[in-house]
Structure 1
Amino acid sequence: MPALDKTYIYRMVHILNIPHILVNGVTHRVSENANKDYVAIGDPKLISGRDMKLMLTGKYLGDYIPFYFGARTPMLYVNQYGFNSVPMTAAEDIVYCVSSIQAIIDSGIKFIFTDGHAHNALSTEYSMEHSNNLDAILDFKAINAEYWKDDTDLDLKRRKEAEILIEEDLPTKHILGYICYNDNAKAKLIDFGAREDVVVVRPNKYF
């Protein structure tokens, strides 16, 4: 059985969203607590496509707030380098909000998870009741891989992007900490009001 309190999940956001998150938590765009000044990162086409994908729960993929099980994702690479017509975002301006499976369970928020990118037709959807079997369901070697191009494993990228999808806003008290790129970013987070002891600098989580 996996240690769910040590099974961390990651939500990437622009650093300018942190002041709102410190007060309201990670919120959905249609939440009553949504950030009206939200600074988006990511591929708008992919985001709109998620709104059209119906999940087994009867909800659309876009109805959930997605977190990844690992860092250094293809999404991060696209954001940092600006591929697929996505504007470049400096690593210093990208922050990981970190929680854990146990923290989500303790929050009482319902969730599902997938064994690969949630928008990919090859990925399987699992209910929260399968959390105790994460080690058998998810490929953590793929999730933690630094890169995903492998001519002998063309499915590596999909598996690396396994997601947990939560149904409601995640209150700040269930965010365990924040990962940032450098000391400048850390100073900004502390100026915004983040506690210094929960902000860590990890440049190896970026490209």
Structure 2
Amino acid sequence: MNLKIYHIVHVDKLPSIMSTGSLLSDAKLYKVMEMGTNIGMEKIKQRRLQITFSSYRDMHVGDCVPFYFCPRSVMLYILSQKNHPEIDYKGGQEPIIHLVANFKRVIDWAGKNSKRWVFTDSNAGSHHFNDYNDTKYLSMIDWKAVHAKYWIDCREKKQAEFLIEDKLP
């Protein structure tokens, strides 16, 4: 399986990521003084700190580093528009970089390092998603929506996520 997962960050966060040696979850980031531009919606980040998974009732979405299964995410489009009222950042997508990881390698790393992981069939920042912690359920993801070029009718499903507990080097 050569499935890729994608995390987007502002390029000015790279020094911070390099100094910690990992991408950190929002729950961890709120405890350290991370440098760099926040490109997310703070309201949704706060909500993710409250939402739990059905797979792990003691783990919140915000306890995990989020990845999308699609390289051209809804969030990247929103950033390109430079005008979302709930995002302070208005600099467009040019300084946004994709960090790409191999799905299987990340799962293998998680197993060796006692880190839990899940994937969702839609946006984990909403209250309406299903989560799974077994790759045999990957077919529950709407892959047509994930790869859709035009996604007005499948926006939430396009935002299916992979989430790993705490951090990812």
TM bracket (short chain): 0.7 to 0.9
2:25 and 2:66 in contact (8 A); partners too? no
TM-score by length of 1: 0.69
Distance (Å, rounded) in 1 between the aligned partners of 2:156 and 2:73:
10
CA RMSD of aligned residues (A): 2.1
Cα shift at 1:11: 0.4
3-state SS, counterpart of residue 76 of structure 1? helix
Of residues 47-56 and 94-103 in structure 1, the stretch that sits farther from structure 2 once superposed is 47-56
Who wins on radius of gyration, i.e. which is larger?
Answer: 1
One-letter code of the match for 2:99?
Answer: C
2:43 alignment partner, one of 26, 42, 45 = 45
1:113 and 1:164 in contact (8 A); partners too? yes
1:68 and 1:164 in contact (8 A); partners too? yes
Cα shift at 1:62: 1.0
Cα shift at 1:79: 1.7
3-state SS, counterpart of residue 6 of structure 2? strand
1:131 alignment partner, one of 132, 135, 145 = 135
The aligned residue for residue 27 of structure 1 is 24
The aligned residue for residue 95 of structure 1 is 97
Identity of aligned residues (%): 29
3-state SS, counterpart of residue 125 of structure 2? coil
Distance (Å, rounded) in 1 between the aligned partners of 2:32 and 2:25:
6
Cα shift at 1:34: 5.1
- After superposition, residues 47-86 of structure 1 pair within 5 angstroms as 47-56=45-54, 57=56, 58-81=58-81, 82-86=83-87
What are the superposed Cα offsets for residues 90-137 of structure 1, whole Å, 9 maximum, x if unpaired?
Answer: 32210010002111122123201101111333311111xx21441x21
What are the superposed Cα offsets for residues 72-92 of structure 1, whole Å, 9 maximum, x if unpaired?
Answer: 222112222131331323322
Distance (Å, rounded) in 2 between the aligned partners of 1:37 and 1:9:
24
Distance (Å, rounded) in 2 between the aligned partners of 1:158 and 1:145:
12
The aligned residue for residue 118 of structure 2 is 112
The aligned residue for residue 141 of structure 1 is 144
Q: Which runs of 4+ in 1 moved over 3 A?
A: none
Please, which runs of 5 or more residues in structure 2 have no aligned partner? none
Please, which runs of 5 or more residues in structure 1 have no aligned partner? 151-155, 172-207
